[in-house]
Structure 1
Amino acid sequence: MEWNRTKTIFIIVFLILDIFLAFQYLDKRRINQFPILEKSTLQEDMKADHITYNNLSKESQKGSSISAQKKVFKQSEIKSLKGQKPLMDTSKSDSLTEIKMAFSEPIPLPKTDMETKAREIVNQQVINGSKYKLWRVDKSQKQIIFFQTYKGDYIFQDQNDNANNEIGEVVLFYNDKNEVVRYKQSMLKEIKEVKTENLISAVGAVEALYYPDYLKPNSKVKKTELGYFTQYPLASAQIFVPVWRIEVQRKTDEAVIHEEFIVDARDGAVLLSQEKKEKS
């Protein structure tokens, strides 16, 4: 009887000891594994997916949102444009937030370096033309596009918006003879800084695209630039937030894919995503 009781006590003691040792082992294993899990960083995950970017800044900076209003063009301003005639109804002069003008004489563009001549046309022939900076030449549409800037940074436009809601933009239209024949213009006025905040770095903006799966394997970041953007261009007065615009290129068996992302520079939210394919 005594032996049975002693045996039971030994079994209980060894069972408690086994449980204690098991907890010790599991806790030690968890502690030892934690540094291994930490080594799997976001940068290493991106490297494993062959996502590359070169010489991007990792430094955060200060930046401001800005407020602005759509400019209404006055009759006197339109009449002051020499060698041009309006292509829109100017009788509603209290609501002309976009003007469309034709040149009396087409302005020739050189076949090489047409950008320099285009800048000259905008600076000399367009109202407050120095406030705009060349964005791109669209040869397929025969357009040369300029965006308005603030302190040298672009106020980005959604070029895929078919509702014609552009703001702060000049578009030159040229013909088959490489002559600029007309243009359209919209402008922002009374631009003011409204709130200064800490902004994420260029690298942080690229990383913000990764885990939501915007950045696909084998992507190459071609360009990043800081600017301003609004998601609500219809409002007469609006707020533009600081953003990173990111150009990405990746290749598939069928095509070269060009992607453009607008990322909120305050918190990394993706505000715009566009894609264009070229046959490879």
Structure 2
Amino acid sequence: MDWSKTKTIFIIVFSILNICLYWMYVNRNANIENLEVMGTTSVEDVLKSENITYKLPPFVDKEASYVSADIVDFNKESLKDLKGQRIAITSDNLLESTLTDKLTFEETQKDDFKTFLSQYVLNGSEYTLWDVAEEQNKAFFFQQFDGRPIYYSPSTMLVVTWDESGRIQSYEQRMLRDFTNFNKKDLLSPLEIIGSLASRGLLKQNSEVTSVKMGYSTLVRLTETQVFAPTWDVQVKLESGETEHHFLNANDGKVIEFQIDSDSNEDKEQSE
């Protein structure tokens, strides 16, 4: 990428980002005012009245930065060390692999696919297992930055597929590089985030908040560069035993809904 093109991209990115941040600042203040009216004691009372229990992590890192990164354009030279597979680059940023080695789903699942990732996937250690859809014979992984997953970004997902006998057949990979931190902001605490969900009626009765973890979600998506915002992932165990995930912007408390199109592998993000 030449310098003039890079400069133009960053001017566009940060112009859009400034508008987004101002909008988020206004909405964040409104949300915080609502939370302050509700009050910490009131949040706890609401949760108690609904029989919602929770386990909160220590609120140590009270600030987090936005993150920008560039989309990786795969090339044969960067993939030459990958063995036991046939690789096709169907577009500059999509890698499709068909395994020739015999490897079963059961074997790889025992260690959350870590052996598979390290031996067969470019920069596999950057990915973390998110979900195993056994009815679809697929496992979904998110790329991480600084140990935190990037939730449901098409530019950072790895999807592994196996056949009915459990043999891994193929995977599709997209990846980002050159991550940069910028514009550090205050975070809403896990209790404030749970309170925000409770005030919206999004936490069901007799449920348990089992974890509140930090990651990232897409804020600005351009052709070559992506910008991500700090995002809380609230995991909730329902009375039925099922698990729900709620994603909220960690700065302003907006609820983020990811709608995955399984055919195009694209997502749509909506906020409340």
Q: Which is worse superposed, 76-85 or 258-267? A: 76-85
Gaps of 5+ in 1: 1-36, 90-94, 159-165, 275-280
CA distance in 2, matches of 1:217, 1:234: 40
How far has the Cα of 1:218 moved from its partner?
2.6
Q: Which letter maps to 2:198?
A: Y
Partner of 1:259 in structure 2? Answer: 244
State the secondary structure of the residue aligned to 2:98. Answer: strand
Gaps of 5+ in 2: 1-37, 260-272
CA distance in 1, matches of 2:77, 2:208: 49
Partner of 1:57 in structure 2? Answer: 58
CA 54–39 in structure 1, closer or farther in 2 if over 3 Å, else same: closer
The yes-or-no answer on 1:125 pairing with 2:120 is yes
How far has the Cα of 1:115 moved from its partner?
3.7
CA distance in 2, matches of 1:233, 1:256: 36
TM-score, structure 1 length as denominator?
Answer: 0.70
CA distance in 2, matches of 1:273, 1:57: 27
Partner of 2:132 in structure 1? Answer: 137
How far has the Cα of 1:134 moved from its partner?
2.0
CA distance in 2, matches of 1:43, 1:106: 53
Of 80, 102, 105, the match for 1:106:
102
Contact 1:148 1:187 (8 Å CA) reproduced: yes
**% identity of equivalent residues:** 26
CA distance in 1, matches of 2:148, 2:102: 31
Q: Which letter maps to 1:258?
A: T
Q: Which letter maps to 2:54?
A: Y
Partner of 1:157 in structure 2? Answer: 152
Contact 1:57 1:201 (8 Å CA) reproduced: no
Task: Provide, for residues 243-267 of structure 1, a one-character-per-residue CA deviation record: whole Å limited to 9, x for no partner.
Answer: 100112333xxx6653221111112
Task: Provide, for residues 174-200 of structure 1, a one-character-per-residue CA deviation record: whole Å limited to 9, x for no partner.
Answer: 112221111110001111001111112
Task: Provide, for residues 147-190 of structure 1, a one-character-per-residue CA deviation record: whole Å limited to 9, x for no partner.
Answer: 111111111116xxxxxxx1212222111222111111000111
TM-score, structure 2 length as denominator?
Answer: 0.72
Aligned-CA RMSD value: 2.7
State the secondary structure of the residue aligned to 2:192. Answer: helix
Task: Provide, for residues 103-145 of structure 1, a one-character-per-residue CA deviation record: whole Å limited to 9, x for no partner.
Answer: 123313446x724272111111111112112223221211222
How far has the Cα of 1:231 moved from its partner?
5.1
Q: Which is worse superposed, 49-58 or 191-200? A: 49-58
State the secondary structure of the residue aligned to 1:123. Answer: helix
State the secondary structure of the residue aligned to 1:176. Answer: coil
The yes-or-no answer on 1:182 pairing with 2:183 is no
Partner of 2:267 in structure 1? Answer: none
Of 191, 210, 215, the match for 1:222:
210
Q: Which letter maps to 1:245?
A: D
Whichever of the two has the greater Rg, that structure is 1
